[in-house]
Amino acid sequence: MTPVIEALDIGKKYRIRHQNQPRYGTLRDTIAHAVAGLSKRLLAGRQRGEPGTAPEEYEEFWALRDISFNVNPGDRLAILGRNGAGKSTLLKVLSRITEPSCGTARVKGRVASLLEVGTGFHPELTGRENIFLNGAILGMTKADIQFKFDEIVSFAGIERFLDTPVKHYSSGMYMRLAFAIAAHLEPDILVVDEVLAVGDVDFQNKCLGKMASIGEEGRTLIFVSHNISAVERLCNSAMLLSGGRIAKMSADIADVVKGYIGDAGVAEHAEWTNSGDQYESVWFKPTRFGLVDASESPAHSAVRHNEDVWVRIEGNIRQRNALLAIGIQVYAEDASLVFQSYHTDRDSQTSTLGPGEWKFMLKIPAALLNEGSYKIELVAVLFDLEWIIEPRTIAPAISLVVKGGLVHGPYWTRKRLGVVAPVLDWRCVPTSTSASPD
């Protein structure tokens, strides 16, 4: 089966320009410097940065390097990586938007790329007009758009607002419309870049469903995302980019995801301390966050399955707010969220916290989490209003490892499958005369 994409040694280099500031800047120096720079530029010809300009002014930055991979028809490839790893650059090269600095890629079939939601939308035009405009920009013919028009409108769910200028749309409608148009492109290869990063759960599910059906139709999908569960649902192979190079590529998605999590820096510490002015907020500023044992001494981050562990959060509140909720989010090894818990969860504890220093203690009971590594993030929110400490992006995190302590029943001798491993109460009641305990 011939690959539908064959990339060999693709690299992309950018030139970063540095402002060359003289150390003691007099007006005379500044003018002299500007004139010298201008004459240098003119003499060197039109191409700035080509040989002839001062070497210290430009730094070479390789956004991509030694990228070689193959994609077969019908593959659904996920591209993972930290921000700045080169994912969007790779997509741009494959979509022919920008040229590689070296290397070759052979692409068989039409590529449609969705690098941004609503590319080319003009706010003054109505939804109807923008469907045609956006479709044409993405490469559909007018007849094509007309044929699929009703499908697009019903997928987006904006029948009522079809003739209103798009500037009046809510952000949700905007995104649904933009994705609806792109979803009906029917290219041979569809390249999607993190467009699921925004949008509510319904929208994300709709997008995933559409992309799954694209996969079923035998088209190739290249999908960049930070949404691990979407990747696991949709894709049959994954590539991890790190610093512009391919760190891992295989059909074992879980393995690549592990590499990504490791790259993204799983917290290695059992305690976090505020270095001074992090997370400044009048509502709640955390000062310390860590695992402790029952006597409030710092605990080791490894606990046994049959032990309780406490999380201690310390911080100060400068201004009271009834909407304040402090919480934790616990993530498993694959970055999926296991559970959240907020200090306001029990009714009896919901009273507004006044200004001052506060300490929160919460117990993660024994026999809840299964063996494994977890990441606990400290989050804080003004309920339904705004994040004070937002999860997954900036929240401080500590690690928790659950290992050993499986001393419950005789048939539970090693780690079971499952994210949680509770020890539940079973009642065994005989319902016939012949049954009786030993």
**Footprint of another protein (CB under 8 A):** 14, 46, 48, 92-111, 113, 115-116, 119-120, 122, 124-125, 129, 132-133, 136-139, 141-142, 165, 188
Q: Report how far residue 233's alpha carbon sits from residue 210's, in angstroms, rounded to the nearest whole number.
A: 12
Burial readout 286-318 (b: 16 or more C-beta within 10 A, e: otherwise): bbbbbbbeeeeeebebbbbbebebbbbbbbebe
Under 8 Å CB-to-CB from 53, ≥6 apart: which residues?
Answer: 40, 41, 44
Which is nearer to another protein, 57 or 116 (by Cβ)?
A: 116
Which is nearer to another protein, 131 or 241 (by Cβ)?
A: 131
Distances in whole angstroms, Cα of residue 432 to Cα of each of 425, 426, 427, 428, 438:
22, 18, 15, 12, 15
Q: Closest distance between another protein and the C-beta of residue 109, in Å? A: 4
Q: Report how far residue 87's alpha carbon sits from residue 237's, in angstroms, rounded to the nearest whole number.
A: 15
- Residue in this structure with the two tokens 């399955």, named with its chain if needed: 305
From the number of C-beta atoms within 10 Å of its C-beta (0-12, 13-18, 19+), residue 385 rates as exposed
Under 8 Å CB-to-CB from 277, ≥6 apart: which residues?
Answer: none
Give the residue from 71, 82, 94 showing the smallest Cα distance to 241: 82
Distances in whole angstroms, Cα of residue 165 to Cα of each of 8, 125, 137, 318, 358:
45, 5, 19, 44, 50
Q: Closest distance between another protein and the C-beta of residue 114, in Å? A: 9
Q: Closest distance between another protein and the C-beta of residue 264, in Å? A: 26
Q: Closest distance between another protein and the C-beta of residue 11, in Å? A: 9
Q: Terminal CA-to-CA distance of the chain, rounded, Å?
A: 64
Q: Report how far residue 17's alpha carbon sits from residue 254's, in angstroms, rounded to the nearest whole number.
A: 40
Q: 51 forms bridges with which residues in the sheet?
A: 53
The token pair that represents 103 in the structure block: 């290397």
Which is nearer to another protein, 177 or 325 (by Cβ)?
A: 177
Under 8 Å CB-to-CB from 226, ≥6 apart: which residues?
Answer: 80, 194, 197
Which is nearer to another protein, 168 or 403 (by Cβ)?
A: 168
The token pair that represents 363 in the structure block: 């117990």
Q: Closest distance between another protein and the C-beta of residue 359, in Å? A: 49
Which is nearer to another protein, 108 or 258 (by Cβ)?
A: 108
Q: Report how far residue 164's alpha carbon sits from residue 177's, in angstroms, rounded to the nearest whole number.
A: 13
Which is nearer to another protein, 117 or 398 (by Cβ)?
A: 117
The token pair that represents 412 in the structure block: 């539970």
Q: Closest distance between another protein and the C-beta of residue 57, in Å? A: 16
- Residue in this structure with the two tokens 């030694």, named with its chain if needed: 66
Give the residue from 280, 302, 279, 281 showing the smallest Cα distance to 291: 302
Q: Closest distance between another protein and the C-beta of residue 172, in Å? A: 21
Q: Closest distance between another protein and the C-beta of residue 206, in Å? A: 22
Which is nearer to another protein, 136 or 382 (by Cβ)?
A: 136
Which is nearer to another protein, 91 or 381 (by Cβ)?
A: 91
237, 250 Cβ separation under 8 angstroms: yes
Which is nearer to another protein, 185 or 270 (by Cβ)?
A: 185
Which is nearer to another protein, 70 or 273 (by Cβ)?
A: 70
Q: Closest distance between another protein and the C-beta of residue 25, in Å? A: 25
Distances in whole angstroms, Cα of residue 319 to Cα of each of 281, 352, 354:
9, 11, 7
Q: Closest distance between another protein and the C-beta of residue 51, in Å? A: 17
Q: Closest distance between another protein and the C-beta of residue 251, in Å? A: 24
Which is nearer to another protein, 104 or 171 (by Cβ)?
A: 104
Eight-class DSSP state of 369 = B
